[in-house]
Structure 1
Amino acid sequence: MKTIWLALMAGAALVATIPLWAAADPVRDAPSKPRLFLPEVLTPAGRITLTPGFSPDGRTMYFAQTECTPIWECPQRLKRIVRKDDGWSAPEPVPLPQDARVDYPSVTPDGRYLLFSWAATRPEYAGRDIYENFDLWRLDLTDPAATPQPLDGPDLNRIREGAIKKLRFVHNETAPILTVAGDLYFWSERLDGMGDRDVYRARPDGKGGFRRPELLPAPINSVKGDDGAWISPDGKTMLITYADRGGCGGSDLFMAQRKGEGWTNPVNLGCDINSPFDEYAATLIPGTRSIVFPSTRPFEGASEYDVALWIAELPVAKN
């Protein structure tokens, strides 16, 4: 079990190119038990902040945030904050050509692209019977004039239309993560999948796109719900969410290690991290042992539907 934790830190080191924060920084010195992450910046009354993605140097954080509660009745927009000498900036919107719902941003290991799930209207789908269809997109961060482009590959972005257009979360592609090797990981709910929701991998096609996605084998996927996956840049470690594999109550955070073409059994991160409420979709801050994740656990001033980001130190496995 100890090797799993060491592999996770090795994966994080691939993208840590400069020192991130001073030793006294409370973000770097994450607690063993979760606390609210930047509450003065990210937890204003009546807003919900969801799973973030960090630049390789850890100094820019992209995230989706709603403008009100409950979440299903609110706009859900892409925002960012930047680490400066005197702390983090206030959230600012990332300009997009459509005000469609955004979710699960991540930054590629080279820092060039922002990947995210976006329910934008696509002109090639004009006239089709579609409802809020989340596809996988990328935005070139090196070009201020760039506009988002859908990721390309056979059967990568399925269309949420017709009889299944309002069926659960079917055909919504979610949480794109790219590894150094160019493998794209995401999760989706597909009627021909293994379970309710599954994690997929699409290998690069050598031409800027991706090959047909492959279902990850058991024990990552199962006949139930498997989602909220984050992959380390080296592709060797996964943080993932399960609600049905035992633990601390609600949805819990687990971790697994790549082993050849398969994966080890996911290990629960423990009840210091997890709670009787829902924790999901953890992200590791580059160059640190700090994980950031959304949770429905209550906090002072929270309303019934509030979800906030929490931070904690990844526990060290005992021999």
Structure 2
Amino acid sequence: MLKAYLFLIFLFICGTLSAQNLHSKNKKALSFYKEALSLSQIGNVARAEESARLAIKKDKSFDEAILLLHQILLRKNDLEGSLGVLSQYKEELERRFSNRILIDQSKVFFEGGQYKEAKTSISKIEGEIYKFPDIEFQLISASIDFALAESSRKLDINFERLPAPLNEFQKQYFPTVTADNKLVFIVREKNGRGDENIYQSEWLGTRWKKPEQISYKINTDRNEGTASISADGSTLVYSACNIPGNIGSCDLYVSYAIGDEWSAPELLNDKVNSPDWDSQPSLSRDGKKLFFVSSRKGGVGKLDIWVSEKSIRGWGQAKNLGPQINTVYDDSSPYIYLDQKTLIFASTGRVGMGGYDLYSSTWEGGSWSLPKNLGFPINNAFDQIGYTFSPDGWAYYSSGLSNGRIEINRFKVPKAVLADNKIDYISGRVLDANSRAPLAATLQVSEDIIMTSDSLTGAFLTFLESNNSSIRVSASGYASVEFTEDELKRLPKGEVLLNPLNVGETFDFGNIYFDFNSAEIKPESEPTLNEVLTFLKANKKIVVEIGGHTDGIGGEKENLALSRDRARSVYRYFIEKGVPKENLVFAGYGEDYPLTTGNTPKEREMNRRIEFKIVNVLK
């Protein structure tokens, strides 16, 4: 970040100094100055320094030439030399020019983590600063004070490099992780000079699996960049650049896991992608929100964070997160935590410790909370970017080394930094109870949270919202089942076995009560009716007959009519509750099919019943 800053301020000065009414009347000084400016613009800083010194030699009060020399020395990483410029020409310089040198020096110290030196330099500034916005001065001043305070804090964090076989490439970065510790990251191939590809590994209990390319359907000879894998491992959203058919230079694509392979990538629509640069995706746990970074018009700053929401009609128009998150500078690397309300992101436009700092914000009451700096030692003078968090409390990130390598590291996140929003998950497989063949099933935790099992393996990973959560598992042509959290965790090998729905099969859901010699359903039948309703809504491919049965008391003709009337009452109840008519029929059987031939009160009660029988399976 320091080199980038030096280069940017250098370009800024070159652009502004050439357009000013210069503070010299000496023709030779002006000539040497213009020569220095021209040489600096083409990168010949050695000769530019010589010419700048000659300009000052001809006119030692030439403000622009002195400032240019200072900038050239900074660009050469000669901080000591640049400090000497101010001490040598301080008496000759107009105050606003000396202030500009002081703020540049202060920011260089700051970006290098020398916070005390930065504070010393900025404290000497009085009055106007040449070509330096006040908003930026306020930001750097507050950041220096913040960094001095934060750097004295001692959080117990152990940063660890991920061991072999990981980190064996020259450059690997932007990790993303699933709930069960499958790690996806970017590798720059060919010793760091080639294209970017997506690789994957996973934790095998005692070691990491050797990384391999995620799929040749996804990786090409172009750049496949930053990616986000969904928490359950079923969906991958990633950026790809310079691909024929792209909407912009870099666009977002999606692919879905099918067994051990991935589907052909799909370019997300123009409500998500723009003609500009779109990258750094983060997919919410339920797959309904996609956060990403874009340079498109209509934002707050240069790089902004945007979000698109998914509905039954597909991905909606991307929206800027607004000034509560985005700044007039760069905001990037969003990560939406598993609680689906905590956003971690990087920014250069907020009070911080230098470069990109990490911040957290929480969605509360329809808006984002004031972002909070994650503090030292997570943040430091260098760039913190590309973080991902696992349910077991690890933060994965990439870090650059002095030799040019980029490696993936991790640390346990202290509760003081990120609240303990523990999200339980359960993994397993859905199988046919008879053949044990894998099934494509839906797993519904709540009305809004529906997961699916892999169509080839039956594997699933689903999250529970609370200790009282339950999951209903359904598959076409099978009887759905419902488990509590504890029941699902105790299943042998995590296997959910579903029984096929067969024509002629009957189901006993418990009693449905009627008044004597009446077809009016009594209120105490509500729990049973609700259970049947859930079954019917979960199994939309079957036709169920509602059959009414009576005991032997009374006339045969009357009993037949009563049984039919009662079956019709139950039929109407479910129709009013939204069950399609094509899924229901009803019939009355009177006393013709008793469950028992006894005549005690209990046995007669067994014969008075409503039965539910599958009579057809729809295609």
Cα distance 1:277–1:34, how it changes in 2: closer, same or farther (>3 A)?
Answer: farther
Please give the alpha-carbon distance, in whole angstroms, between the structure 2 residues aligned to 1:266 and 1:274.
14
1:21-41 Cα deviation digits (max 9, x unpaired): xxxxxxxxxx94352431423
Tell me the residue number matched to 2:185.
63
Shift of 1:49: 1.2
Residue among 185, 192, 197 paired with 2:291: 185
Distance 1:117 1:275, change over 3 A: same
- Residue 189 (structure 1) shift: 1.0
Matched, 1:231 2:336: yes
Q: State which of 195, 202, 205 in structure 1 corresponds to 2:301.
A: 195
C-alpha distance in 2 between matches for 1:215 and 1:147: 29
The one-letter code matched in structure 2 to 1:135 is: D
In the alignment, does 2:265 pair up with 1:148? Answer: yes
State the match for 2:167 in structure 1: 43
Specify which of 411, 415, 420 is matched with residue 316 of structure 1.
415
Separation in structure 1 between the aligned mates of residue 376 and residue 339 of structure 2, nearest angstrom:
27
State the secondary structure of the residue aligned to 1:56: coil
Find the counterpart in structure 1 of residue 551 from structure 2.
Answer: none
Change (3 A) 1:197 1:145: closer
- Tell me which of 198, 203, 223 is aligned to 1:83: 203
The structural deviation recorded for 1:283 is: 0.6
| Structure 1 position 307, deviation (Å) | 2.4
Q: Distance in 2 between matches of 1:259 and 1:313?
A: 26
- The separation in 1 between residues aligned to 2:158 and 2:241, in whole angstroms, is 31
Match of residue 137, structure 1, among 253, 264, 277: 253
1:43: Cα distance to partner? 2.4
Structure 1: distance between partners of 2:262 and 2:376: 46
1:1-319 equivalences under 5 Å are 32-44=156-168, 47-58=170-181, 60-67=182-189, 73-97=193-217, 98-119=220-241, 121-122=243-244, 124=245, 133-143=249-259, 144=261, 146-152=263-269, 154-159=270-275, 170-180=276-286, 182-207=288-313, 209-285=314-390, 287-296=391-400, 298=401, 302-303=402-403, 305-317=404-416
- Relative contact order (alpha carbons < 8 A, sep ≥ 6): 1 or 2 greater? 1
Q: Which amino acid aligns with 1:134?
A: C
Q: Alpha-carbon deviations, 1:149-198, whole Å to 9, x = none? A: 1223x431123xxxxxxxxxx42333242342611111111132111011
- Deviation for aligned residue 1:255: 1.1
How far apart, in 2, do the equivalents of 1:32 and 1:65 lie?
A: 31
Q: Deviations over 1:106-145 (max 9, x none)?
A: 22244321111122623x45xx9x7xx2211111112536
Question: RMSD of aligned C-alpha atoms?
Answer: 2.5
Partner of 1:165: none
Corresponding residue SS for 1:312:
strand
**Paired AA for residue 324 in structure 2:** P
The amino acid of 2:363's aligned partner reads: R
Closer, same or farther: CA 176–273 of 1 in aligned 2, 3 Å? closer
Q: Deviations over 1:263-285 (max 9, x none)?
A: 11111111121222211121101
Aligned mates of 2:243, 2:287 — CA distance in 1: 31
Kept in 2, the 8 Å contact 1:269–1:315? The answer is: no
Name the CA shift for 1:179/1:84 in 2 (closer, same or farther; >3 Å).
Answer: closer
Partner Cα separation in structure 2 for residue 158 and residue 63 of structure 1 = 24
Identify the residue that residue 23 of structure 1 maps to in structure 2: none
The answer to whether the Cα contact below 8 Å between 2:277 and 2:295 also exists between their aligned partners in 1 is yes
TM-score, length-normalised on structure 2? 0.39
Q: Distance in 1 between matches of 2:395 and 2:223?
A: 25
In structure 2, C-alpha distance between the alignment counterparts of 1:241 and 1:198, rounded to whole Å: 10
One-letter amino acid of the counterpart of residue 165, structure 2: V
- Asked if the contact 1:247–1:271 (Cα under 8 Å) also holds between the matched residues in 2, the reply is no
The whole-number CA distance in structure 2 between the counterparts of 1:246 and 1:57 is 35
SS at match of 2:236: strand
Please say which structure displays the higher CA radius of gyration: 2
Tell me by how many angstroms 1:68 deviates.
Answer: 5.1
**What TM-score do you get using the length of structure 1 for normalisation?**
0.74
Equivalent residue letter for 1:99: D
Matched residue type, 1:193: G
Distance 1:120 1:95 in 2: 19
Q: How far apart in 2 are the matches of 1:93 and 1:136?
A: 19
| Unpaired stretches in structure 2, ≥5 consecutive residues | 1-154, 420-619
* Contact in 2 for aligned 1:273/1:312 (Cα 8 Å): no
Q: Is the 8 A contact 1:56 1:107 kept in 2?
A: no
* Separation (CA, whole Å) in 1 of partners of 2:287 and 2:202: 27
Deviations 1:79-111 (A, max 9, x none): 001221441011111223422212222222443
C-alpha contact 1:103 1:175 (8 A) present in aligned 2: no
Q: Quick one: which amino acid aligns to residue 240 of structure 1?
A: F
Percent identity between the aligned chains? 22
1:87 counterpart letter in structure 2: R
SS at match of 2:165: helix
Unpaired segments ≥5 residues, structure 1: 1-30, 160-169
CA distance in 1, matches of 2:319, 2:355: 28
Using a 3 Å threshold, how does the CA distance of structure 1 residues 102 and 37 change in structure 2: closer, same or farther?
A: farther
Q: Structure 1 residues 94 and 181, CA, compared in 2 at 3 Å: closer, same or farther?
A: closer
Match of 1:95, SS?
Answer: coil
Contact 2:230/2:236 (CA < 8 Å) preserved in 1?
yes
**Residues 225, 200 of structure 1: alpha-carbon distance in 2 compared, 3 angstrom cutoff:** same
C-alpha separation in 1, matches of 2:242 and 2:366: 34
